[in-house]
Structure 1
Amino acid sequence: MSQASNASFNSPFQQLHGRIVVSCQADAGDPLDNLDTLTRIATSVLRGGAGGLRAEGVTSIAAFRSLTQLPIIGIIKTYDHNGDVYITPNFRSAKAISDAGADIIALDCTARRLTSPEPWTELVPRIHAELNRPVLADIASLEDALAAQRAGADAVATTLYGYTAETAGIRTPSWPLLQSLVAHLTIPVLLEGHITNPPDALHALALGAISVVVGSAITRPESITNRFVEAMRQKDLQFSSGQAVNAV
């Protein structure tokens, strides 16, 4: 079932058009990994004008649902024996987050998941049929996105660019990837990942993304502080280098 074939699947993405979605999550061991803390963060970003939320886990999704009727993109993260993360890998997890109140179910729709016990190509139509929820395909490449569109995904997001074997370690947005997605797909495209400032978010919208998902740049003081610290460290290094040259 394609997005265009069901107006109810269109609705959450129409609400997100031109808006910022804030991902309110924290890794295990992070000082912010606490339901009350994350709920307070979600409350704060909603007051700041966020157009929607992205949330991980049943408890967070249920808590956020009590705060807002704006769209919530829901996921459940699992990890394999190598520590690689997978997003909503089976129908059980999709149903759990749907029941908790997620409006949109996000799935890992990369090529690496095609051989899993419940490949996403089977999950997409099942989520449509049994849960009546739209599916957001988290992808890392144009090939992933085209495959997701063929399977009936309702939108794609660049969430996994930088987290697959082919893109590992990249921590900046791929503007060429975004342009290719917009040019080749007929379903909405969301830019997610590695956005650190408003000009980048505006650039993504100008290139054709319907929405931008921002996480760490808004919600994680540790990451925000580290950017400032690293910038000042680099400035100190440049100053020290200049001093040394002048001394010679």
Structure 2
Amino acid sequence: MTNQEILNQIHRGVIVSCQALPDEPLYGYHFMGHLAFAAKEGGAVGIRANTCEDIVDIKKEVDLPVIGIIKSVYDDSDVYITPTMKEIDALAATGVEIIALDATDRPRPNGLDLDTLFKEARAKYPNQLFMADCSCYEDCKHAAEIGFDLVGTTLCGYTAKTKGTAIPNYDLLSRITTELSVPVIAEGGVWERGQLQKVFSYPVHAAVIGTAITRPRDITRRFVEAIS
């Protein structure tokens, strides 16, 4: 598919995040591929996935566009979503349709800044679609200015300066879909059908739902807490 065909395929649809970390019950054993297949049967238009291994498994199961990330922890940085060229290179080698990376203003490992990293990534992979995982309006605006193909609200509420922000952040969605011309991916905090309907009342390009669909431990805990 061309980049425009990829963007057309996910337009106004639900992208399901199929991820499991090492401390979660569904980690490994090809579970993410099966989850992605179930998501496709349910009507998902795309998948978001972490690690090259999961991306490869998912691509064996579904032909949907995949937003790929690699979560890596470095001692000298709070940035963990695709923080360096090492992760970008690994994702590009999988043939993933969209690579997402942290686009906040926080320093990367070894003191690298976003502009320098993205300039290198764009030069090395000029035809790759890149998504900016942002926390606030300023992140989204800057990411659009330096050439990201999509911006997402992924990190709203998860950075020091946005901690405590209610998500989904409808005010942020309203502003970035009005003031920016880049496609917007709404991500974060969608648990209820009504929330998703409100998200789509704005001209977002697509929405990502993760925990509410693909993390049974968290889903179960939420229901149990309702009667505790």
Q: Give TM-score scaled by structure 1 length.
A: 0.85
SS at match of 1:161: coil
Change in Cα spacing, 1:183 to 1:97, as seen in structure 2 (3 Å) is same
Identity of aligned pairs, percent? 36
SS at match of 1:136: strand
Structure 1's consecutive aligned runs of 4 or more residues displaced over 6 angstroms after TM superposition are none
5 Å-filtered alignment, 1:230-241, equals: 230-233=225-228
What is the alpha-carbon root mean square deviation over aligned residues? Answer: 2.1
Corresponding residue for residue 15 of structure 1: 9
Letter in 2 for 1:41: L
Matched, 1:183 2:178: yes
Corresponding residue for residue 43 of structure 2: 49
5 Å-filtered alignment, 1:20-169, equals: 20-81=14-75, 84-113=78-107, 117-131=111-125, 132-169=127-164
Match of 1:210 among 202, 205, 208: 205
Letter in 2 for 1:164: T
Letter in 2 for 1:63: D
Q: Contact between 2:84 and 2:108, CA under 8 Å: does it hold in 1? A: no
Distance 2:109 2:78 in 1: 15
* Unmatched 5+ stretches in structure 1: 1-6, 234-248
Letter in 2 for 1:226: R
Pick the structure with more helix per residue. 1
Q: Contact between 2:49 and 2:67, CA under 8 Å: does it hold in 1? A: yes
Higher Rg of the two aligned structures: 1
Letter in 2 for 1:150: E
SS at match of 2:61: coil
Q: Contact between 1:72 and 1:103, CA under 8 Å: does it hold in 2? A: yes
Q: Give TM-score scaled by structure 2 length.
A: 0.92
Change in Cα spacing, 1:209 to 1:113, as seen in structure 2 (3 Å) is farther
Q: Deviations over 1:12-34 (max 9, x none)?
A: 22211111000000122111111
Distance 1:147 1:83 in 2: 20
Letter in 2 for 1:223: D
Q: Contact between 1:107 and 1:120, CA under 8 Å: does it hold in 2? A: no
Q: Contact between 1:98 and 1:105, CA under 8 Å: does it hold in 2? A: yes
Alpha-carbon shift at residue 109 of structure 1 (Å) = 0.3
Number of residues of Structure 1 aligned to a counterpart in Structure 2:
227
Distance 1:115 1:90 in 2: 7
Q: Deviations over 1:107-159 (max 9, x none)?
A: 10001136854432233343333222111000000000111011100110000
| Worse-superposed segment, 74-83 or 92-101 | 74-83
| Worse-superposed segment, 198-207 or 18-27 | 198-207
SS at match of 2:64: coil
Letter in 1 for 2:96: A
Corresponding residue for residue 236 of structure 1: none
Alpha-carbon shift at residue 81 of structure 1 (Å) = 3.2
* Unmatched 5+ stretches in structure 2: none
Q: Deviations over 1:50-109 (max 9, x none)?
A: 100000111011111122221100001112338945111112211211211210010100
SS at match of 2:67: strand
